[in-house]
Amino acid sequence: MSRYAEPMARLIEELKKLPGVGTKSAQRFAFHVLRSSDEDAAALADAVRALKASLRLCSICNNVTDVDPCAYCTSPVRNQRLVCVVEEPTSIASVERTRGYQGVYHVLHGTLSPLHGVGPDQLRTHNLLARVERGEIDEVILATSPTLEGEATASWLASTLRSHSVKITRIATGVPAGSDIEYADEVTMARAMEGRREL
């Protein structure tokens, strides 16, 4: 039996499902919520509910958005024929920080990882392949992280796209090998984009 009252144990259990949150952090968060005002606790619950109710994935690029298609995919000032492929919606921020990129995105929501049972079918690629097949894209920049999984994903995508008339490039290894592009600083990321090579 839990040493906490049922509502507290329930919140702790839910918080522990968050990435990087262990039992100790979950307990700290739960007690913080308990001590906070009714308004603050309600605002937190509302924000979680509203997030799920109002956000969806862009049908063109899979970015998380409240309007479909998303702001990138409908932007008249962005080059809609230049597509940067990233692993997660959060990776877009790393590329945007360079301020030099004027194309659009495609979010895979993961990488190939046979050990974790993630194969090509689990990645969200069908809408990217459809865009390429329709001849809507001139260049696909593979900006997955230089990790084992990121590299495997980039080579798989390159070989899948090769039969189509589209330029395929891979970001340079200015991003330290084995690291996540999310943590690349803007100068490193800008160099990685500028130094991209054709596959």
Q: Which of 11, 26, 70, 84 binds Zn ion (CB under 5 A)?
A: 70
The tokens for 165 are 């008339």
**Rounded distance, CA 84 to CA 64, Å?**
15
Beta-strand relationship, 167-170 and 139-142:
parallel
Residue 84 Ramachandran class (φ > 0 left, ψ -120 to 50 alpha, else beta): beta
Phi/psi of residue 18, nearest 5 degrees = -75, 145
**Rounded distance, CA 4 to CA 23, Å?**
13
Nearest approach, Cβ of residue 178 and Zn ion (Å): 29
Q: Which is nearer to Zn ion, 131 or 151 (CB)?
A: 131
For residue 83, the cross-strand partners are 104, 140
Nearest approach, Cβ of residue 105 and Zn ion (Å): 7
List, in order, residues 6 or more apart from 33 with CB less than 8 Å away: 11, 41, 44
Question: Which of the ranges 12-20, 28-36, 67-75, 153-161 carries the binding residues for Zn ion, by CB under 5 A?
Answer: 67-75
Asked if 128 interacts with Zn ion (CB under 5 A), we say no
Nearest approach, Cβ of residue 52 and Zn ion (Å): 19
Nearest approach, Cβ of residue 127 and Zn ion (Å): 9
**Rounded distance, CA 16 to CA 54, Å?**
24
Question: Which of the ranges 47-55, 59-67, 124-132, 170-178 carries the binding residues for Zn ion, by CB under 5 A?
Answer: 59-67
**Rounded distance, CA 172 to CA 193, Å?**
7
Q: Which is nearer to Zn ion, 131 or 196 (CB)?
A: 131
Q: Which of 11, 12, 58, 86 binds Zn ion (CB under 5 A)?
A: 58
Nearest approach, Cβ of residue 10 and Zn ion (Å): 36
Asked if 85 interacts with Zn ion (CB under 5 A), we say no
The tokens for 155 are 């080579």
- Is the bond preceding 120 in cis, omega lying within 30 degrees of 0? no
Question: Which of the ranges 12-20, 61-69, 147-155, 162-170 carries the binding residues for Zn ion, by CB under 5 A?
Answer: 61-69
Residues 16-55: x where in contact with Zn ion by CB under 5 A, - otherwise, as a string: ----------------------------------------
The residues that touch Zn ion, with contacts defined as CB under 5 A, are 58, 60-61, 63, 69-70, 73
